[in-house]
Structures are given as structure tokens and as C-alpha cells.
Structure 1
Amino acid sequence: MSRGKRPAIQLTIIGKLGTMGCHRGHHIGETFDYDTDRGKICPMALHCAFPYVDILRYGGQLPGQPEGEAEFCCSDADVALVFKAKIIE
């Protein structure tokens, strides 16, 4: 997929909330390219990632987050994985 002028976004699992393991088998330290690794990432996590990726790609910044980065959790109530979305230059 051609990115055109959109910046690349890297998603990294940086933590987890809860005691269970991820139902999809993800673990802390995994890194994904938002555009090319979509088939490898849990659909629930992708659904949660989209607004943050959109904000970063179009020049927005989230309060309290470093420029070009956004942290968020997936929506799995049993184990919410913490992700960092980051613009890759």
C-alpha cells in the first residue's frame, strides 16, 4: 500500500492491565507497522488505534503526550494491552 505523504505509524505494545494473557497472543515488546501489519494485529486493538493514528497523521497532538506519539489501550476487559503509536520519520 502506498502511503503517499502520510507518515508511517509504528504501534508498540508497552504494557498491560490485568492478569490474563492476550486472547490474540500479543505480548509486551511486539511492534507493528500500522499500514502493512494490519492482518497481524488484533482487530479490537486496531479499532482502538484508529483515532490516535488519525490524529497523529494529520498533525494533531494529544494533551500530555509527546509530539508525534500517543498511548492508548485496547478494549479487551480481561487484559487491556497498552500501545504506543509513534510517527516514524
Structure 2
Amino acid sequence: MNRGKRPKIKLTITDRRGKKGCHRGHKVGDVFDYDTERGEICPMAMHCAFPYIDILRYGGSLPGQEEGTAEFCCSDADVIMVFKAEIEK
């Protein structure tokens, strides 16, 4: 990893497991650039995303997850949108 510059992170919505649609209007297949579009992402999802993005940006990895990726869910139990964060190469 280049120590002088943080890697770019892409967030993709990969699944929805809740009973209701996203209150923010997100859908499976939506893709966001974390650095330039994070204001468009639901604050509940961003609250959950931040630790995973930090782990990836600073060279960490998550057990059982592909190198450079992290899957997580938003915290809304009615919606449960599944996101995949990945380092853009």
C-alpha cells in the first residue's frame, strides 16, 4: 500500500435482507465512491461502514473476507441493506 495516499474505497449494495425497502431509496446494485459520494449514503449505513473502511484503508483485513474487501449491513432491522466495501486498485 502507498503510505502517502489512502486507497480509494468503493461501496456496493449487494443484497437486501429486511422486510421493507430502504428509507433512503437505496437499491441492490447501487455503487458509491466513498470519498466523493458519502453524503448520498444513508447515515445509518455510514455509521456501520466507517470501522470497516478504516480497517481497509490502513492495511487491515477481516477474518473470512476476501483481501481488500469488507461486507457489512446497515443497522436498520426493517431494511438490512448489505454493503461491500472494497479497495479500488
For 2:50, give the aligned amino acid.
Answer: F
2:5 equivalent to 1:11: no
Unaligned runs of 5+ in 1: none
Write out per-residue CA displacement over residues 12-70 of structure 1, whole angstroms, 9 at most, x where no aligned residue: 00001112100000000000011110111001111100000000000000000000000
Q: Which residue does 2:53 correspond to in 1? A: 53
The alignment yields a C-alpha RMSD, in angstroms, of 0.8
2:44 equivalent to 1:44: yes
- TM-score for the superposition, normalised by structure 1: 0.94
- TM-score for the superposition, normalised by structure 2: 0.94
For 2:86, give the aligned amino acid.
Answer: K
Higher share in strand: 1
**1:53 match: secondary structure:** helix
Percent of matched pairs sharing the same residue: 72
For 2:68, give the aligned amino acid.
Answer: G
- Number of residues of Structure 1 aligned to a counterpart in Structure 2: 86
Runs of 4+, deviation exceeding 2 Å: none
For 2:18, give the aligned amino acid.
Answer: G
Measure, in 2, the Cα distance between the counterparts of 1:39 and 1:56.
20
For 2:63, give the aligned amino acid.
Answer: P
